[in-house]
């Protein structure tokens, strides 16, 4: 199906474990983004990518790593998960205007 | 600094009109977006203003004043399904880079019968 998808939709992990959240889009959009959404903070940009192999930090990048070897995929890795990374994570893509959001991944770090 | 302010909550009656205000302060501003987000779902695009003035799209309209750093979203003929969070986002944050958005914390609108 066309669009933007995220996997998994729900994830529970433990402190210190590595976790990778996947994002895939079928529009061949140049720009892709990772946000986290927490009560009282709204959506905050973690990392973004302007094209394959080009990534840059957003507002809250610490503790996260991204890569973009292919235009359609933009995985987000938590190298050593902490409780403060419990959140809802949204991936988005864009081609210069509005951003289209994936369904989100609800991550709980115990 | 960069800042987006919008009311936390609003309540309105079905069939009425409601205006959700947003003030912003960002470096390198290049447009103002409004998104709708129902509980447990992803944000969906509603409108985009880059020039001053009013943009109308069906029951929803959005206004921008760049000189005042101010925008509003106007919802007419409110329906129960309009109960959602409305997110204001300024484009061009992070030093003016295109496509990066700074989001407000959202306004939770409750439409009552």
Tell me what the pLDDT averaged over chain B comes to: 91
Measure the CA dihedral A58/B31/A72/A23, to 10°. Answer: 50
Q: A31 and B99 in contact by Cβ < 8 A?
A: yes
Angle of CA points A10, A12, A16, to nearest 5°: 135
**What confidence category does residue A39 fall into, taking pLDDT thresholds of 50, 70 and 90?**
confident
Q: Which of the two residues, A69 and B95, has the higher pLDDT score?
A: A69
Phi, psi of A40 (to 5 degrees): 85, -10
pLDDT value at B95 more than 80: no
**What confidence category does residue B1 fall into, taking pLDDT thresholds of 50, 70 and 90?**
low
Query: Of A97, A98, A95, A102, which is closest to residue A29 (Cα–Cα)?
Result: A95
Query: In the prediction, which pLDDT does B108 show?
Result: 97
What digits encode the pLDDT tens for the residues B33-62? Answer: 999 999 999 999 999 998 999 999 999 999
Query: In the prediction, which pLDDT does B30 show?
Result: 80
Query: In the prediction, which pLDDT does A95 show?
Result: 86
pLDDT value at A5 more than 80: yes
**What confidence category does residue B94 fall into, taking pLDDT thresholds of 50, 70 and 90?**
very low
Chain A CB contacts of B42 under 8 Å are 90, 101-104
Angle of CA points B84, B89, B95, to nearest 5°: 160
Q: Give B36→chain A minimum CA distance, Å.
A: 11
Q: Alpha-carbon distance A107 to A81, whole Å?
A: 10
Average pLDDT over residues A15-27: 97
Residues 33-92 of A with CB under 8 A from B: 35, 40-45, 48, 50, 58-59, 90
Q: Give residue for tokens 């938590």.
A: A78
Query: In the prediction, which pLDDT does A1 show?
Result: 59
Q: What region does B69 belong to: left with phi over 0, alpha with psi -120 to 50, or beta?
A: left
pLDDT value at B72 more than 50: yes
Average pLDDT over residues B88-110: 78
Nearest-CB residue to A43 (from B41, B45, B103)? B103
Scanning every residue of chain B, which has its alpha carbon at the shortest distance from the alpha carbon of A50?
A: B99
Q: Alpha-carbon distance A72 to A63, whole Å?
A: 23
* Residue A27 at interface with chain B, using a CB cutoff of 8 Å: no
pLDDT value at B78 more than 80: yes
What digits encode the pLDDT tens for the residues B7-41? Answer: 999 999 999 999 999 999 887 788 899 999 999 99
pLDDT value at B99 more than 80: no
Nearest-CB residue to A42 (from B98, B100, B103)? B103
Q: Alpha-carbon distance B102 to B107, whole Å?
A: 15
Cβ atoms A32, A93 nearer than 8 A: yes
Number of H helices, E strands in chain A: 0, 11
The structure tokens listed for B76 are: 């007419």
What digits encode the pLDDT tens for the residues A46-105? Answer: 999 999 999 999 999 999 999 999 999 999 999 999 999 999 999 999 987 789 999 999
């Amino acid at each position: 199906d066309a669009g933007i998808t995220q996997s998994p939709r729900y994830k529970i992990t433990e402190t210190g474990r590595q976790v990778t959240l996947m994002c895939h889009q079928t529009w061949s959009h140049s720009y892709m983004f990772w946000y986290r959404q927490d009560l009282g903070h709204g959506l905050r940009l973690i990392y973004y990518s302007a094209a394959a192999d080009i990534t840059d930090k957003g507002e809250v990048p610490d503790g996260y790593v991204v890569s973009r070897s292919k235009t359609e995929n933009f995985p987000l890795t938590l190298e050593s998960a902490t409780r403060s990374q419990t959140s809802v994570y949204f991936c988005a893509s864009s081609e210069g205007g509005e951003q289209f959001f994936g369904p989100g991944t609800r991550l709980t770090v115990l | 600094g960069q800042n987006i302010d919008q009311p936390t909550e609003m309540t309105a009656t079905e069939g009425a009109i409601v205006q959700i205000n947003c003030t912003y302060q960002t470096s390198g501003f290049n447009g103002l977006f409004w998104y709708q987000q129902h509980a447990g779902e992803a944000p969906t695009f509603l409108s985009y203003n880059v020039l001053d003035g009013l943009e109308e799209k069906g029951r929803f309209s959005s206004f921008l004043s760049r000189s005042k750093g101010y925008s509003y979203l106007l919802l007419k003929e409110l329906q129960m399904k309009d109960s959602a969070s409305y997110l204001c986002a300024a484009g061009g944050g992070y030093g003016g880079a295109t496509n990066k958005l700074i989001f407000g914390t959202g306004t939770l609108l409750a439409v009552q019968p």
